[in-house]
């Protein structure tokens, strides 16, 4: 297990950038999941786009509550030009050699996400990007299912396999060589992986690194038509005439089946609490979870009702 394995070298600063706009109902869980990380030093940068929903009050309170010498919560709230602009501002402020990207409606899954990523960079100096697997959670932090991903392959990415953005950590040189603020896509994460994937080495961490929150106001739903159309355009522009074959599609079917089996193993660890979560996750019953996992269906974006179980999170 990577979870409590110490790093051999002196720990390097990790900077985590969180773009946010009117996400007050999720923002504090995101902040706490970073503050709970066992890794230090961490610089958490939140770029708020001028929210009017109470986000600023949360930022003021949390910046005081979590003020420590080896953990800093830095934030700014001002109008911007959307997520790419906010990310660009955040990466410009980052001082760390390793950079994370965690949206304000997502969370790190447990307390060892940053440690695991930093350890991979230390062990594999040729690697530029690391990522892991991800849980899908509801608006109220109910566990819906687990998504597992194969190792990064550029042609597979062109076929729609996107690596899970909340789990990604990058070396500083990546954002210097490929400024993300210049991109203007709704599905910015997929576009960015295609932008940097040709010339940089990715490594998959085989563990649950983060939780992706499924809710009605996420961009992939509110701007689904634009997201789909833009996706076709940038896949064509990056694909250089690549067209998947029947063999490619058959390989993808087998890969998806294997990933579901792997996800079931993750679920067993989570549900027996062998993996200590960094947010107040709750579950709605083993049978329901495994049915969702096997069918990969979540219905009509269910919120899973109010929390039934509070998992106490100690600072």
- Residue 313 in this model has a pLDDT that exceeds 60: no
For the chain, the residue count is 315
Which residues are paired to 71 by β-bridges?
Answer: 42, 68
Architecture of the domain delimited by 14-295: Alpha-Beta Complex (3.90)
Express each pLDDT in 249-287 by its tens digit.
899 989 988 998 899 888 888 887 777 899 999 888 888
Nearest by Cα to 76 from 66, 63, 64: 63
* Peptide bond between residue 41 and the one before it cis (omega within 30 degrees of 0): yes
Q: What is the mean pLDDT of the chain?
A: 86
The pLDDT value given to residue 47:
98
The token duo for 53 is 């929903």
Would you say 130 and 169 are in contact if contact means Cβ atoms under 8 Å apart?
Answer: yes
- Residue 86 in this model has a pLDDT that exceeds 80: yes
d(CA 269, CA 39): 22
Domain assignments of the chain as residue spans, ordered by start: 14-295
Q: Which residues contact 276 (CB under 8 A, 6 or more apart)?
A: 110, 111
Host H or E run for residue 287 = helix 286-295
d(CA 56, CA 28): 11
The pLDDT value given to residue 288:
84
Express each pLDDT in 146-168 by its tens digit.
999 999 999 998 887 889 999 99
Q: Which residues contact 209 (CB under 8 A, 6 or more apart)?
A: 108, 109, 113, 116, 117, 131, 132, 133, 134, 164, 166, 167
Average pLDDT on 54-62 reads: 96
Average pLDDT on 210-229 reads: 68
The pLDDT value given to residue 226:
59
Express each pLDDT in 229-245 by its tens digit.
666 676 777 877 788 89
Would you say 140 and 306 are in contact if contact means Cβ atoms under 8 Å apart?
Answer: yes
Average pLDDT on 56-78 reads: 93
Alpha carbon 82 to its chain centroid, in Å, reads: 18
Host H or E run for residue 157 = helix 154-158
Q: What is the DSSP letter of 306?
A: S
The pLDDT value given to residue 14:
98
Express each pLDDT in 195-212 by its tens digit.
999 999 999 999 999 999
The pLDDT value given to residue 283:
86
Task: Place 3 in a pLDDT band, splitting at 50, 70 and 90.
Answer: very low
- Cα–Cα distances (Å) from 13 to 43, 91, 123, 188, in that order, read 7, 14, 16, 26
Comparing 37-51, 157-171, 179-193, the range with the smallest average pLDDT is: 179-193
């Amino acid at each position: 297990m990577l979870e409590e394995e110490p790093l051999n070298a002196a720990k390097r600063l990790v900077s985590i950038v969180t773009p946010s706009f009117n996400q007050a109902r999720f923002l504090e869980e995101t902040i706490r999941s970073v503050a709970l990380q066992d890794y230090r030093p961490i610089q958490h940068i939140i770029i708020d786009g001028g929210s009017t929903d109470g986000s600023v009050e949360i930022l003021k309170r949390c910046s005081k509550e979590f003020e420590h010498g080896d953990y800093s919560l830095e934030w700014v709230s001002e109008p911007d030009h959307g997520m790419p602009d906010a990310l660009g501002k955040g990466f410009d402020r980052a001082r760390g050699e390793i950079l994370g990207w965690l949206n304000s409606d997502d969370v790190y899954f447990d307390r060892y996400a940053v440690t695991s990523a930093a350890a991979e960079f230390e062990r594999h100096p040729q690697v530029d990007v690391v990522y892991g697997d991800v849980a899908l959670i509801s608006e109220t932090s109910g566990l819906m299912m687990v998504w597992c991903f194969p190792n990064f392959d550029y042609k597979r990415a062109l076929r729609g396999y996107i690596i899970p953005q909340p789990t990604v950590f990058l070396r500083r040189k990546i954002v210097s060589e490929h400024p993300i603020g210049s991109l203007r896509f709704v599905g910015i994460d997929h576009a960015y992986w295609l932008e940097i994937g040709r010339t940089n080495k990715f490594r998959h961490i085989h563990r649950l690194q983060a939780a992706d929150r499924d809710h009605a106001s996420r961009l992939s739903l509110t701007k689904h038509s634009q997201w789909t159309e833009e996706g076709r355009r940038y896949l064509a522009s990056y694909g250089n005439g690549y067209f998947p074959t029947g063999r490619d599609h058959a390989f993808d079917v087998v890969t998806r089946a294997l990933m579901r089996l792997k996800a079931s193993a993750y679920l067993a660890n989570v549900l027996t609490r062998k993996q200590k979560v960094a947010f107040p996750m709750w579950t709605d019953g083993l049978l329901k979870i495994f049915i969702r996992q096997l069918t990969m269906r979540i219905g009509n974006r269910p919120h899973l009702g109010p929390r039934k179980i509070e998992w106490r999170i100690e600072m």
